[in-house]
């Protein structure tokens, strides 16, 4: 339901790169022992590799470039989070993938904000882990509500959300 609403706000690019398919998703999930959220797979299958308004970049396992490859970027993001958790464990209570139920990254912004999945929720860490926001919803619902101002995330600048939202398909 939210995918169709999102597509009305943010058109699917004419040229899509590195979109997924069911067989490839099954192979990645088996290889990395994780289950990707359905709506994340739907998003990647629909939009492919790219970013939103040249600010928010969506990670994908199908891209080899380390800046947008889910697994390569996840390693960097996980190391950063673990470091911050060691410094202030009371503020950083989440576990990290591959731990059972650990945070799994799905995006980041040019400001250094990080976006994660966590047991059916979206977690956004503000740049340098100054603060975090958790939303009890999936990725596509989160994006739709963010873009329609149905929710607020103080991690993102006001000028990020504009009309129309633009998804830039990227081929590295």
Structure confidence by residue, pLDDT tens digits, 12-68: 999 999 888 889 899 988 988 888 999 999 999 999 999 999 999 999 998 888 889
Asked, for residue 122, whether it belongs to a domain, the answer is yes
Tell me how many helices (H) and strands (E) the chain has: 5, 7
**Which pLDDT belongs to residue 20?**
82
Give me the CATH number covering residue 49. 3.40.1580
Lowest-pLDDT range, 13-22, 64-73, 121-130?
A: 121-130
pTM: 0.93
Question: Does the structure show a pLDDT above 70 at 170?
Answer: yes
Q: Give how far the C-alpha of residue 22 lies from the chain's centroid of Cα atoms, to the nearest Å.
A: 19
**Which pLDDT belongs to residue 43?**
97
Question: Does the structure show a pLDDT above 80 at 128?
Answer: no
Gap between the Cα atoms of 135 and 39, Å rounded: 15
Q: What is the mean pLDDT of residues 128-132?
A: 75
What lies within 8 Å, CB to CB, of 164 at 6+ separation is 9, 10, 11
Asked, for residue 80, whether it belongs to a domain, the answer is yes
- Total count of domains within the chain: 1
Which residues does residue 104 pair with via DSSP β-bridges, in sequence order? 117
Structure confidence by residue, pLDDT tens digits, 144-162: 999 999 999 999 998 999 8
Asked, for residue 14, whether it belongs to a domain, the answer is no
Q: How many residues does the chain have?
A: 172
Asked, for residue 52, whether it belongs to a domain, the answer is yes
Gap between the Cα atoms of 149 and 77, Å rounded: 27
**Which pLDDT belongs to residue 34?**
86
Domain of residue 100, residue span: 2-9+19-169
Asked, for residue 144, whether it belongs to a domain, the answer is yes
Gap between the Cα atoms of 139 and 79, Å rounded: 23
DSSP 127-152: GGGS-EEEESS-HHHHHHHHHTTSS-
**Which pLDDT belongs to residue 117?**
94
CB 70, CB 59: distance < 8 Å: yes
Tell me the Ramachandran region of residue 120: left when phi exceeds 0, alpha when psi lies from -120 to 50, beta otherwise.
Answer: left
CB 17, CB 170: distance < 8 Å: yes
Lowest-pLDDT range, 23-37, 82-96, 100-114?
A: 82-96
Asked, for residue 151, whether it belongs to a domain, the answer is yes
Asked, for residue 154, whether it belongs to a domain, the answer is yes
CA distance readout (Å), 141 to 26, 57, 117, 144: 23, 17, 13, 5
């Amino acid at each position: 339901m939210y995918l169709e609403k999102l597509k009305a706000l943010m058109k699917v690019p004419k040229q899509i790169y590195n979109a997924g398919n069911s067989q490839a998703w099954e192979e990645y999930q088996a290889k990395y022992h994780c289950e990707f959220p359905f709506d994340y797979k739907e998003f990647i299958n629909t939009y492919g590799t790219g970013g939103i308004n040249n600010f928010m970049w969506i990670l994908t396992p199908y891209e080899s470039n380390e800046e947008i490859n889910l697994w390569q970027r996840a390693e960097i993001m996980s190391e950063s989070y673990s470091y911050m958790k060691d410094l202030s464990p009371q503020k950083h209570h989440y576990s990290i993938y591959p731990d059972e139920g650990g945070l799994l990254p799905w995006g980041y912004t040019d400001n250094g904000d990080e976006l994660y999945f966590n047991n059916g929720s979206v977690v956004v860490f503000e740049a340098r882990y100054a603060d975090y926001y958790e939303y009890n919803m999936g990725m596509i619902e989160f994006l739709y509500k963010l873009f329609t101002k149905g929710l607020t995330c103080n991690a993102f600048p006001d000028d990020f959300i504009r009309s129309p939202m633009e998804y830039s398909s990227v081929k590295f």
